């Protein structure tokens, strides 16, 4: 199956070997101007993403987690240049995307695709499934006639749909099926990177699991790299190799998933993880749930210093004045941005084995 | 017995055209403000146009002389047909068909004699048989809407009851003579025939003689008029849009000036615009409020003639409100009629100061002993007081939206009546509602109306005031009834002796001057506008006046 | 779909019948007597005219009881004649046929013009939201909506006929010469453009709003992500979806639009249905009023049906 989907559309440069750096993001900023209604004067900036660094290796899954509004989707879109970044660099396979011309960018899109949260809105209602999936091929002039048909049929099979569905319109499918169509479309160009912006959160729990398993299988078979945006920490833990935790437009902690889960060092990460339900009743009592107080500050006027200080129970004077750098303070290989970073007590966070393999298998 | 219609003011109650008021107002604003720039009528080229484009004020919804008549139709009919008799611009009876028209001294026998060599457009000669057939059809009330509007002819009863197939009182002793025997003496019979003439063109008996009278009104002849006798022949009739006529090469009175003439219906602003662009070359009629604007277009001539009928407030004389003549006199003193004429109608009018609807002929009008009702509010109040007028009397004025100057005049006059202590509230009604209300004779006190023709024969006014003619039977919408006045008008018909008639009418008009039946506000001039290259236009105040001499019009480069 | 259309047509029959009954009762409730309106009071002549009017009343069937009149009128409807105009003395169908073409020509031209202008402007305004162009488009359409249409018409006549003398002031053709296409076009330009100007404003706003709604959809983002050209994204993805509601609005609006041309027809002396409707109400011409009401009712039903069918054809999510 892998060979079938891969062979006809070899990207010009070919897939990178697993483990090689595929995406590198440095100092990415996305600021949305706030303008007055009438005179269109710029009154301020929504600092949706404010200087983040990321990297994803071929075949790897990076999870991007954080509360609603912290800038996850904006990051995902900016990485694919579906939103123009305000500053910073995004390099895919070493090619700088932010300065790329329109034509080059369009061909670069073959390597990176996106799957969005709402499968009801992400499929054009006036196009058939075949039209939707084959459009990328058409746009990039790949395959013709019968070849394109065959490719679509293969893609449908790949995501667990039948070729006979191709003539139907999106509204004739369930949410999970639609998300499969969206994934098939994203795969049509044989990309190496998929940005998955909460691809499960609009679906029923049972369906979510199927999609998770589908994504995992596809990654295995196609050596895909994922940037998985989610606020479902259990899914993230289950799927991701590495993790980046965002708060108000910045990354506050990043590292290998297990490291972050087991030894969170940033108070925000600790708070997040403490909220994950503990399925093992024997461990429930042991875990201290950290309840964050106050609302997330508005990204148009983020707090000075550490952006988390308005809600942090560990905040000190320094936190209000100086913004903490994202550095590895404990030599754990997972840096965090906190002046007073502290390795959390393992007991306060859920254990890894409690979550794994709890999803039902993906039906074929 | 009555007479109608037309005059400068386009029908009395019903006018089947749309000239929404706001258009005229806006036109004044748009075109008036920029009037300085309203440069000149662009004559399309210097060469004489072969087609003349004219604007009528009223639509002709068909060209059938038997169906209810509007002014537009009469104008077309008098262009394509020849009336037996008509009224010229000096209100004299005239004819292009008849050599003579006479009434016997007892006013009971009428003799019409055709001119020699009058021919139809197919070359056949016009004879007394044509006159006989035409009048027989026109006088039959079952087929002809205007039949009853002229004094009865001997034998009409027998025709109506079905006992006879012809009218015994009509006879043609020779090829050119028609003799008409009247039931009652009727000195106004010929003037009446002249006023109806535009609706009653002579019909060709060689084409229509065999059509049963019951079917004549629906005969296809009247859709196309394949044969007629006027200066132009009908070539196209497009309902609601235009009528096209083509020169009649066999017209007995000469050669018409244009190959084609188009008659259109246009709104005031369209008319003004097209006059200026040269798209139309003749307009009948122009509202007094538009005159100044049109005068500013160079290359356009505006010509006018005194009108033939006052516009007036009809009063509900059937009720008790206006019983006391002093109340009606007070109304005349209360309204500044001269002021309305001067300011609202821009002076394009005359004021009937003695409040006589009949404004000509002069022999019939008294010269002494009349009260002139000049604006005098103090006198109005005094008269009301003398008449014990209750200032709390609630009066209803039925108003219809009309041309802008009418609305303004009505508003001004009603305001002045209120100031004098006669409190009218204005109710806006449609024509249908108006007729409904005045038919019921209650629920109203006054309304505005225009029209008719009061310059040819003094008997005309009588028809509007007779007890027997009270609406809905006749045109006496003011429900006026004074048997003594009726008697004077009736006697006035019994002799053709002008001096004898004059003395009777003087008495009648003096009575009506003292006991006003209605309030005559102003007499609007008949105003036409035309491209200055057009010559031969003589404005007439009369009903078919717009086109009565169209055969004489020429284009002078 | 066919079943739906048939069902709707069948449902429409009682609705139309109901409307016709109501309209019939309503016109007879209008104050006034149509027979009395046939002859101007100044032309009345006692017995003669009384006899004439009595005969007219019988000829027009107005002497019969109302239910009988209704049945007679329905028979006229079913035979397609639509009755006989009281005032104009010809079959109503003929009156309507004489004028409907002009009205349809004017309206259709205006709608096409308006759509042709509104789509690109609305699309550009939505793409460059809050740009100068967007504001300009918004302001212009506000202006066009708030200026009374007759004023716009007169202004056009003033500029193009009187000052520049490039277009005829009014009418549908130069009278007295055989009609030609270019002559008709010249006469059509101004009234159609003025009507279109009035329509364009709202249409631009529909297109813009509809486009904004669609552009917010995720499938636009994914289309860009696929590498589709901006052209393709706007035309194939955004516009094709944005036009669905516009089509419906257009179809549903058509009856109102036809009614709204009355003013334009008057200003430009355009020989359409407008004047006929006006006159028939003035003259209590029951058969004409009823026919117009009936035609409007049929048109409303039809346009709604067309709107539904069109929506279903265009939007696969809608099933009939
Ligand atoms: N086009 C835009 N213009 C202005 N502000 C924007 C725009 N898009 C996003 N924002 C703001 O940027 C911030 C980040 O939004 P973003 O959608 O990236 O958050 P998110 O982390 O994806 O949230 P969620 O979990 O709810 O999807 C929010 O405050 C949002 O209001
Ligand atoms: S820097 Fe200070 S405020 Fe920020 S997370 Fe660390 S302790 Fe809390
Ligand atoms: Mg998001």
A344 plus A315 within the same structural domain: yes
- Residue A255 in domain: no
Among A105-119, B151-165, B376-390, C128-142, whose mean pLDDT is lowest?
C128-142
Nearest CA in chain C to A118: C218
Q: Which of A229, A266, A243, A239 is closest to A343 using CA atoms? A: A266
Domain match, B178 and B246 both:
no
* CATH code of A134's domain: 3.40.50.300
Do the bridges between strand A193-197 and strand A250-256 make them parallel or antiparallel, or are there none, so unpaired? Answer: unpaired
Q: What is the DSSP string of A205-268?
A: HHHHHHHHHHHHHHHHHHT-EEEEEES-HHHHHHH-SEEEEEETTEEEEEEEHHHHHHS--SHH
With respect to residue A252, please indicate whether it lies within any of the assigned structural domains.
Answer: no
Q: Are 3 or more Cβ–Cβ pairs between C and B shorter than 8 Å?
A: yes
| pLDDT at position B88 over 90 | no
Partners of C240 on chain A (C-beta within 8 Å) are 126
Residue B72 in domain: no
Same domain, A128 and A240: yes
For residue A11, the model assigns a pLDDT of 46
Ligand 2 atom with least separation from CA of A266 = 5
| Residue contact C227–A139, C-beta within 8 A | yes
Of the partner residues C88, C169, C175, the one whose CB lies closest to the CB of residue B262: C175
So what's the pLDDT on residue B325? 95
Q: Does residue B485 surpass a pLDDT of 90?
A: yes
B451 vs B434 pLDDT, higher one: B434
Closest CA to C239 of C206, C196, C198, C197: C206
With an 8 Å Cβ cutoff, is C319 touching chain A?
Answer: no
Q: Are residues A230 and A289 in the same domain?
A: no
Condensed to tens digits (0 to 9), the pLDDT of residues B365-416 reads 999 999 999 999 999 999 999 999 999 999 999 998 777 899 999 999 999 9
Cα distance between residue C272 and residue C170, in whole Å: 12
> Does A228 lie in the same domain as A272?
no
Q: Which residue of A has its CA nearest to C316?
A: A126
Number of compact structural domains in chain B:
3
Q: Tell me the three state secondary structure of residue A132.
A: helix
A114 and A198 in a common domain? yes
Q: What is the pLDDT of residue A282?
A: 60
Q: Compute the average pLDDT of residues B197-222.
A: 92
Q: How many domains in chain A?
A: 2
Instruction: Say if residue B347 is in the same domain as residue B455.
Output: yes
In the predicted model, is pLDDT for residue A4 greater than 80?
no
- Measured in degrees and rounded to the nearest 5, phi and psi for residue C137 equal -60, -45
Whether B355 and B294 share a structural domain: no
Q: Inform me whether the pLDDT recorded for B124 exceeds 90.
A: yes
Check pLDDT > 70 for residue C245: yes
- The pLDDT tens digits of the residues spanning C290-316 come to 998 888 888 888 888 888 888 888 888
Residue A223's CB is within 10 A of a number of other CB atoms, namely 17
Pocket mutation for ligand 2, best pick of A248, A302, A316 (most atoms within 8 Å of C-beta): A316
What chain C residue is nearest to B277 in terms of C-alpha separation? C162
Does position B16 have pLDDT exceeding 70, yes or no? no
Going from the Cα of A48 to the center of ligand 1, the distance in angstroms, rounded, reads 6
Taking contacts as CB-CB distances below 8 angstroms, the residues of chain C near B146 are 43, 45
Interaxial angle between packed helices B377-386 and B404-420, expressed in degrees from 0 to 180 and rounded to the nearest 10:
60
Do A268 and A162 have their domain in common? no
pLDDT 10s digits, A14-32: 778 877 889 999 999 999 9
Whether residue B546 is found in the same domain as residue B514: no
Expressed in angstroms and rounded, the spacing between residue C235 Cα and the centre of ligand 1 is: 27
Q: Look up residue B233 and give its two tokens.
A: 């022949």
The residue range of the domain holding A318 is 263-364
Q: In this structure, are B290 and B255 located in the same domain?
A: yes
The answer to whether residue A254 is domain-embedded is no
pLDDT, tens digit, for every residue of A279-322? 555 655 555 677 787 788 888 888 999 999 999 988 899 999 99
Identify the CATH number of the domain in which residue B437 sits. Answer: 3.10.105.10
CATH of the domain at B155: 3.90.76.10
Residues B188 and B260 in one domain: no
Does any domain span residue B68? no
B211-247 pLDDT, tens digit per residue, is: 998 899 999 999 999 999 999 999 999 888 899 999 9
Chain C residues 220-239 within an 8 A CB cutoff of chain A? 221-229, 232, 237
ipTM score:
0.82
Q: Which CATH class is domain C2-31+82-319?
A: mainly alpha
Is residue B397 a contact partner of residue B445, using CB atoms and an 8 Å limit?
yes
- Is A248's C-beta closer than 6 angstroms to any atom of ligand 2? no
* A147 and A88 co-located in one domain: yes
Q: Hey, which chains touch B, using 3+ CB pairs under 8 Å?
A: C
- Strand (E) positions, chain A? 21-35, 42-57, 61-65, 87-92, 95-96, 112-115, 193-197, 225-230, 242-247, 250-256
Residues of C in contact with A38 (CB under 8 A): none
Q: Are residues B330 and B478 in the same domain?
A: yes
Between B124 and C318, the more confident residue is: B124
Is there a domain that residue A272 lies in?
Answer: yes
Subunits close to A (at least 3 CB pairs below 8 A): C
Closest residue by Cα to atom 16, ligand 1, is A71
- Where exactly are the structural domains of chain C? 2-31+82-319
Same domain, A50 and A142: yes
Tell whether ligand 1 has an atom less than 6 A from the beta carbon of residue A302: no
Residue of the CA atom closest to atom 6 of ligand 1: A32
CA-wise closest residue to B275 among B41, B437, B473: B41
Note whether A122 contacts C218, CB cutoff 8 Å.
yes
Is A194 in the same domain as A286?
Answer: no
As a whole number, mean pLDDT of residues C106-124 equals 92
Work out the percent of chain A whose per-residue pLDDT is above 90: 51
- A72 Cβ below 6 A of ligand 1: yes
CA distance to partner chain A, nearest, from residue C240 (Å): 8
Measure in Å the smallest separation between the Cα of C256 and chain A Cα atoms.
30
- Print the domain residue range for B105: 82-218
| Count of CB pairs separated by less than 8 Å, B with C | 206
Of B3, B5, B27, the closest CA to residue B403 belongs to B27
Do residues B316 and B280 both lie within one domain?
A: no
CB contact under 8 A, B2 and C48: no
| CB of A122 closer than 8 Å to CB of C218 | yes
Do B250 and B323 lie in a common domain? no
Does residue B1 contact residue C45 with C-beta atoms inside 8 Å?
yes
CA-CA-CA-CA torsion sign (B472, B475, B479, B485): negative
CA distance C141 to chain A (A): 18
In a domain, B196, yes or no: yes
Residues A278, A227 share a domain: no
Q: Is A175 in the pocket of ligand 1 (CB under 6 A)?
A: no
Domain-located, residue A37:
yes
CB neighbour list of residue A134: distance below 8 Å, 6 or more residues apart? A148, A149, A151, A152, A188
Question: What does the pLDDT read at residue A38?
Answer: 65
User: Do A186 and A287 belong to one domain?
Assistant: no
One domain for residues A66 and A168 = yes
Q: Is residue A83 part of a domain?
A: yes
């Amino acid at each position: 199956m892998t060979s079938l989907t891969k062979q006809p559309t070899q990207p010009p440069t070919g897939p990178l070997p697993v483990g090689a750096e595929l995406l590198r993001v440095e100092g990415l900023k996305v600021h949305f101007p706030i303008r007055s209604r009438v005179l269109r004067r710029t009154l301020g900036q929504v600092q949706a993403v404010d200087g983040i660094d990321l990297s994803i290796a071929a075949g790897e899954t990076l999870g991007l987690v954080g509360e609603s509004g912290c800038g996850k989707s904006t990051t995902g879109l900016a990485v694919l240049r579906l939103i123009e970044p305000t500053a910073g660099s995004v390099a895919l396979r070493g090619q700088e995307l932010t300065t790329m011309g329109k034509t080059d960018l369009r061909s670069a899109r073959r390597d990176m695709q996106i799957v969005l949260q709402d499968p009801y809105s992400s499929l054009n209602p006036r196009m058939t499934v075949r039209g939707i999936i084959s459009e990328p091929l058409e746009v990039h002039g790949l395959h013709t006639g019968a070849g394109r048909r065959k490719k679509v049929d293969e893609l449908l099979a790949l995501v667990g749909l039948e070729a006979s569905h191709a003539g139907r319109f999106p509204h004739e499918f369930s949410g999970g099926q639609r998300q499969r169509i969206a994934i098939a479309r994203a795969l049509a160009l044989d990309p190496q990177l998929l940005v998955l912006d909460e691809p499960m959160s609009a679906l029923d729990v049972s369906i979510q699991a199927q999609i998770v398993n589908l994504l995992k299988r596809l990654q295995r078979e196609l050596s895909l790299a994922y940037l998985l945006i989610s606020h479902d920490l259990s899914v993230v833990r289950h799927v991701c190799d590495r993790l980046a935790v965002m708060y108000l437009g910045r990354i506050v902690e990043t590292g290998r998933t297990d490291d972050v889960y087991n030894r969170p060092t940033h108070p925000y990460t600790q708070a997040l993880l403490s909220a994950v339900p503990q399925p093992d009743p024997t461990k429930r009592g042991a875990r201290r749930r950290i309840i964050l107080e106050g609302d997330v500050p508005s990204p148009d006027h983020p707090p000075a210093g550490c952006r988390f200080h308005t809600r942090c129970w560990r905040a000190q004077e320094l936190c209000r004045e100086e913004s903490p750098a994202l550095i590895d303070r404990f030599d754990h290989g997972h840096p965090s941005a906190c002046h007073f970073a502290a390795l959390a007590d393992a007991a306060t966070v859920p254990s890894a084995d409690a979550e794994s393999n709890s999803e039902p298998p993906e039906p074929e | 017995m009555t007479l109608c219609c037309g005059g400068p003011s386009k029908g009395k109650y019903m006018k089947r055209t749309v000239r929404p008021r706001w258009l005229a107002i806006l036109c004044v604003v748009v075109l008036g403000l920029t009037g300085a720039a309203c440069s000149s009528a662009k004559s399309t080229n210097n060469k004489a146009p072969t087609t003349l484009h004219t604007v009528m004020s009223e639509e002709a919804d068909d060209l059938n002389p038997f169906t209810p008549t509007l002014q537009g139709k009469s104008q077309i009919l008098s262009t394509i047909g020849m009336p037996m008799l008509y009224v010229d611009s000096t209100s004299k009876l005239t004819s292009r068909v008849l050599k003579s028209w006479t009434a016997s001294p007892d006013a009971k026998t009428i003799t019409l004699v055709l001119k020699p060599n009058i021919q139809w457009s197919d070359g056949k000669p016009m004879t007394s048989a044509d006159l006989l057939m035409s009048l027989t059809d026109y006088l039959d009330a079952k087929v002809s809407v205007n039949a009853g509007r002229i004094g009865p002819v001997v034998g009409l009863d027998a025709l109506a009851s079905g006992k006879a197939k012809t009218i015994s009182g009509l006879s043609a002793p020779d090829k050119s003579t028609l003799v008409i025997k009247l039931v009652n003496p009727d000195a106004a019979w010929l003037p009446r025939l002249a006023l109806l003439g535009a609706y009653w063109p002579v019909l060709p008996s060689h084409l229509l003689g065999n059509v049963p009278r019951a079917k004549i009104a629906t005969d296809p002849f009247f859709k196309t008029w394949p044969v007629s006798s006027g200066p132009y022949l009908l070539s196209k009739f497009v309902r609601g849009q235009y009528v096209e006529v083509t020169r009649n090469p066999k017209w007995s009175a000469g050669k018409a000036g244009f190959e084609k003439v188009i008659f259109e219906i246009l709104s005031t602003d369209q008319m003004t615009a097209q006059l200026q662009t040269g798209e139309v070359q003749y307009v009948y009629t122009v509202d007094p409020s538009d005159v100044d604007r049109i005068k500013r277009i160079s290359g356009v001539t505006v010509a006018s003639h005194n009108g033939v009928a006052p516009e007036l407030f009809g009063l509900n004389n059937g009720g008790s409100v206006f019983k006391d003549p002093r109340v009606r006199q007070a109304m005349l003193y209360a309204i500044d009629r001269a002021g309305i004429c001067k300011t609202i109608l821009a002076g394009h009018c005359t004021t009937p100061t003695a409040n006589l609807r009949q404004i000509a002929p002069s022999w019939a009008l008294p010269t002494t002993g009349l009260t002139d009702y000049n604006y005098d509010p103090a006198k109005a109040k005094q008269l009301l007081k003398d008449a014990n007028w209750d200032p709390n009397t609630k009066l209803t004025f039925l108003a219809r939206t009309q041309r802008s100057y009418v609305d303004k005049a009505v508003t001004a006059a009603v305001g002045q009546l209120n100031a004098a202590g006669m409190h009218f509230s204005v109710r806006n009604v449609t024509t249908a509602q108006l007729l409904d209300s005045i038919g019921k004779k209650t629920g109203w006190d006054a309304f505005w109306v225009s029209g008719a023709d009061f310059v040819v024969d003094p008997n005309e006014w009588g028809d509007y005031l007779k007890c027997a003619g009270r609406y809905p039977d006749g045109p006496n919408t003011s429900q006026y009834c004074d048997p003594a006045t009726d008697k004077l008008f009736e006697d006035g018909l019994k002799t053709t002796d002008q001096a004898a008639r004059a003395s009777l009418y003087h008495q009648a008009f003096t009575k009506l001057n003292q006991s006003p039946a209605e309030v005559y506000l102003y007499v609007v001039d008949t105003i036409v506008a035309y491209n200055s290259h057009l010559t031969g236009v003589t404005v007439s105040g009369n009903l078919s006046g717009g086109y009565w001499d169209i055969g004489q019009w020429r284009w002078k480069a | 779909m066919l079943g739906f259309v048939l069902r709707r047509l069948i449902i429409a029959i009682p609705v139309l019948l109901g409307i016709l009954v109501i309209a019939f009762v309503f016109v007879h409730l209008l104050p006034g007597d149509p027979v009395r309106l046939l002859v101007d009071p100044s032309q009345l002549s006692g017995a003669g005219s009384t006899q004439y009017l009595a005969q007219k009343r019988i000829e027009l069937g107005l002497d019969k009881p109302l239910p009988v009149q209704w049945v007679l009128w329905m028979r006229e409807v079913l035979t397609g004649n639509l009755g006989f105009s009281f005032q104009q003395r010809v079959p109503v169908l003929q009156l309507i046929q004489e004028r409907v073409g002009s009205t349809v020509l004017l309206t259709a031209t205006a709608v096409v013009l308006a759509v042709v202008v509104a789509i690109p402007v609305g699309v550009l305004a939505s793409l460059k939201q809050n740009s100068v162009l967007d504001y300009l488009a918004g302001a212009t359409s506000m202006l066009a909506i708030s200026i009374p249409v007759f004023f716009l018409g007169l202004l056009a006549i003033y500029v193009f006929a009187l000052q520049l003398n490039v277009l005829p002031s009014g009418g549908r053709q130069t009278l007295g010469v055989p009609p030609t296409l270019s002559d008709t076009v010249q006469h059509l330009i101004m009234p159609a453009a003025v009507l279109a100007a009035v329509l364009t404003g709202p249409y631009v706003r529909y297109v813009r709003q509809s486009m904004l709604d669609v552009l917010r959809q995720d499938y636009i983002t994914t289309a860009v992500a696929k590498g589709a050209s901006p052209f393709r994204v706007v035309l194939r993805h955004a516009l094709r979806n944005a036009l669905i509601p516009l089509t419906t609005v257009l179809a549903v609006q058509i009856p109102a639009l036809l009614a709204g041309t009355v003013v334009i027809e008057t200003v430009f002396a355009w020989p359409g249905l407008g004047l006929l409707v006006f006159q028939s109400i003035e003259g209590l011409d029951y058969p004409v009023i009823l026919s117009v009401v009936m035609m409007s009712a049929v048109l409303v039903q039809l346009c709604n049906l067309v709107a539904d069918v069109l929506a279903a054809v265009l939007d696969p999510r809608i099933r009939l």
